Chain A
Amino acid sequence: MSSVLDTLVSQPYKHGFVTDIESETAPKGLNEDIIRMISAKKKEPEWLLDFRLKAYRHWLTMTEPQWPNVHYPKIDFQAISYYAAPKPKKKLSMDEVDPELLRTFEKLGVPMHERAALAGVAVDVIFDSVSVTTTYKEKLAEVGIIFCSISEAVHNHPELVRQYMGSVVPAGDNYYAALNSAVFTDGSFCFIPKGVKCPMDLSTYFRINTQDSGQFERTLIIAEEGAQVSYLEGCTAPQFDTNQLHAAVVELVALDDADIKYSTVQNWYAGDEKGVGGIYNFVTKRGLCKGRNSKISWTQVETGSAITWKYPSCVLLGENSIGEFYSVALTNHKQQADTGTKMIHVGKNTRSTIISKGISAGYSNNSYRGLVKIGPHAEGARNFSQCDSMLIGSKCGANTFPYIQVQNPTAKVEHEATTSKIGEDQLFYFQSRGIPTEEAVSMIINGFCKDVFQQLPMEFAVEATKLLGLKLEGSVG
C-alpha cells in the first residue's frame, strides 16, 4: 500500500510544469512540482529549493490551528494559485481611479503623489519615481545598508539570506509559516551593518522592487552590532487585493547593542458591512534579540482585514535585551481579530513591555492573546503588560487571553487589563460642549490609543489618528 503511494507521490507531475515554465500563472493547487516551478522561475539556488521543499513536507503533516478565537469557512489550499509572474501594473490615469478611493486618501491627508502611486497610477507621470528611488538607494549604499527585495537578496547576498532566513521563524514553526516558507514569492530584505545608524526610516513604500509581493510575503531584517533601524510597513490607505489569504513571515535579528523598530499600519480590505469578502491576514512576525543589550520594538495599528491572526513576538536571548510590543487593533462591522504578542525571556535581565489597545465596534470580535514566558535562566527578567479594551456599541466583543509562564523565581511580571465602553453619557458630555459625535469618538479613541501612537514615527501617527476616525465613521450614534 505504502509503496503504491510512494510511487504515486514521486511521479513527476503529469501535466508537466517543466514544459509549462513560460506560463505566467501556475495552475491552482499545491504540490512539490509547483514549488520546484516557483523556485525555477525565480532562478533560486539549490539550498533555497530545499528550504521550500522541507517546509512543504512539514506543512503536509500539520493541521490548521483551531485555537484562535475566529471563525471562517475552511480554506481550500488546492484552490489557490501559488505563483503569478510579476506583471507591470496597468498604467491608469488619475481620471480612471475610483473617486471613492481618492476621497479616502484626501481625508487621510496622503500627499498627492503618494495617492497616485497607491491608486495604481503610473507614478512617473506624476513624479520621477526612478530618481527618487535611486537617490534613496544611493544614500543607503553610502553607509553600507542593503535594502532590496528578498529575491534580489537571494541572488546578490546569498550568504546573508542563507544564514538568517528561517533562523527566527523556522520553516516548520506553524501551519501558515510553513506554507509561507514553501511558497513565498517576494518581500523585503534589509541589512544594517555593524555600527551603522540608518539615516532615515525605511519604508516598504520606497522599496526598490515596487512590484506586488503577492500573498505570501517574506521579510528579513538584520541589524548587526550597534546598528539601528526604523522600518515602516504598510500604509494607511486602504489596500485591495483579489487574494483572500495572506500569510506573511517577518523575521528580525538584532545582534549586540542593535536596535530595530518595526512599525506597521495595516488597512487591508476588511469586507463589506455584512462581512462578505475581505482579507484573511495570518501572519508570523518574530524578532530575535540575539545579542547583549539589543532591542526590538514592534508597533502595530491594525485596522483592516476580515480576519487578523498575528502575534509579533520577541525572543530575548541576549543578556539585558529588550522587547516591546505596542498595538492598536480596531475591528468594526464583522471583522475578527485575534492578535497579541509573545515575549520569550531566555537571557538574564531581559525586559519586555506590552501595551495593547483593542477597540471593537459594530458586530466585530477583538481578542488579545499574549504569552509572557520567563525561562529558567532568565535571572532578573521583567515584564509589564497592559491590555485595554474599548467597546463601542453593544453588539461587539472583546476578550483578553494572557498566558504567563514563569520558570525563574527572580522574575517580575505585571499584568494590567481594563475594559471600557464609549457610553452615551460620555458622548453627550462632548455634545453638550458643542462637539459633534464623530469628533468626540475620535478624541476618545485617540486618548485611549495615545500610549501606542506616541511610539509611531510622527507622520505615521498623524495618519493613524485620522485612519481610526475614518474607520469608525457612522459606527456611533
Chain B
Amino acid sequence: MINANAKKILEVRDLTATVAGVDILKGINLTVRAGEVHAIMGPNGSGKSTLAKVLAGHPAYTVTGGEVLFEGKDLFALASDERARAGIFLGFQYPVEIPGVTNSAFLRLAYNTVQGGRGKEELDPLEFDDLVREKMKLLEMNPEFLSRSVNDGFSGGEKKRNEILQMALLEPKLSLLDETDSGLDIDALRVVAGGVNTLLNAGNACVLVTHYQRLLNYITPDYVHVMSAGRIIRSGDKSLALELEERGYDWLLDDKKAGATV
C-alpha cells in the first residue's frame, strides 16, 4: 500500500559492506515507508540476503560505508539485539536449531525482552501461553511445537512457520523476510504468506528477499527491486517480478552492461 506521505521507516544510503574482506554490498539505496511491501529479487550471490543480514546486524558482516536510518535514527548505533527491540525483525532463510531450549521458553524470553525494551507489559508463563496459542492458530501450528526444542528436528516448513510465529509475537515495524518461501510446499506457502499478510498494516513495513515470483502471488509487493553484484540495478512495481518470471535476469544484466558502456 503506497502512501507517499507515510513516514519513512527505513532509509538506506550508499550502503557498502564486506564479509571476510570481500565486497558484497557496493552501494545500496532504498527507502521504505510505513505500509509498504518491498520485494528484493536477483540471481544467487547478488547480495540480497547480505542486505537483510547487515540491516539486522549479523556479526560476520562489516559495514564499510554509507548510512542507514531506522525511523530517522542511525541504525548502526544499535547492537543487533537493540535493533530487534527497536522493531527490526529478520526472518531467517535457515532458522537456527537450539537443542535443549524449549520453543515456549525461547518465545517467551524473546517476547518479554522486546516488550520490556518497548516499555510494555511482560507476561507470565500462563498469560504468554494463551497469547502464543492464539498466534499459532494463525499459522495452523500444532501447540506441541511449544514443548519441542527451538527448530530442532523441525521440517523446513515447520521452521518457516516458527519464524513467522515470532514475527507475529514481536510485532516488528520492519520485517526482513529472507527467502521465507524456500523449502515450502504450496500449502505451507499459502499458510505462511497468509500469516504475513495478516500481520502487515499501515504502520509497519516488510522487505521480502526472494528468488521466485510465486511468493509474490500471495504477498503483493508495492515495489520490486532487482539486485546484481551488490547493487540495485532496477526498481519497479509488481509487474517487474512477472517480467522476471518470464524472461529471467539476463536481459537486465545485459541492459546494465550496455548502460555502463554509454
Contacts and interface: CB of A to CB of B under 8 A. Distances in A.
A447 B98 contact: yes
Interface in B38-97: 56-60, 79-81, 84-85, 89-90, 92, 95-96
Given A428-B58, A443-B106, A443-B109, A435 B81 contact: yes
Interface string A427-445: 0111111111101000110
B84 A434 contact: yes
Interface residues of A, number: 21
B170 interface: yes
B114 interface: yes
A243 interface: no
Contact of B59 (A424, A435, A447): A424
B110 interface: yes
A142 to B, nearest CB: 40
A132 to B, nearest CB: 34
Given A433-B84, A434-B113, A434-B117, A424 B60 contact: yes
B166 interface: yes
A432 B84 contact: yes
Contact of B98 (A424, A439, A444, A450): A444
A432 B79 CA distance: 10
Nearest to B92: A429
Given A426-B98, A444-B100, A434 B58 contact: no
Contacts of A446: 100-101
Given A447-B98, A447-B99, A432 B113 contact: no
A434 B96 contact: no
A420 B99 contact: yes
B98 A428 contact: no
A431 B109 CA distance: 11
B149 interface: yes
Interface in A397-450: 420, 424-426, 428-437, 439, 443-444, 446-448, 450
B240 interface: no
Interface of A: 420, 424-426, 428-437, 439, 443-444, 446-448, 450
Given A424-B59, A432-B90, 10 more contacts: A420-B99, A425-B96, A428-B57, A432-B81, A433-B166, A439-B109, A439-B113, A443-B106, A444-B98, A444-B100
Interface of B: 56-60, 79-81, 84-85, 89-90, 92, 95-96, 98-102, 105-106, 109-110, 113-114, 117, 149, 166, 170
30 contacts: A424-B59, A425-B96, A426-B98, A428-B57, A428-B58, A428-B59, A428-B96, A429-B95, A432-B57, A432-B81, A432-B89, A433-B106, A433-B110, A433-B113, A434-B84, A434-B85, A434-B110, A434-B170, A435-B84, A436-B113, A439-B109, A439-B113, A443-B105, A446-B101, A447-B98, A447-B100, A447-B101, A447-B102, A448-B99, A450-B100
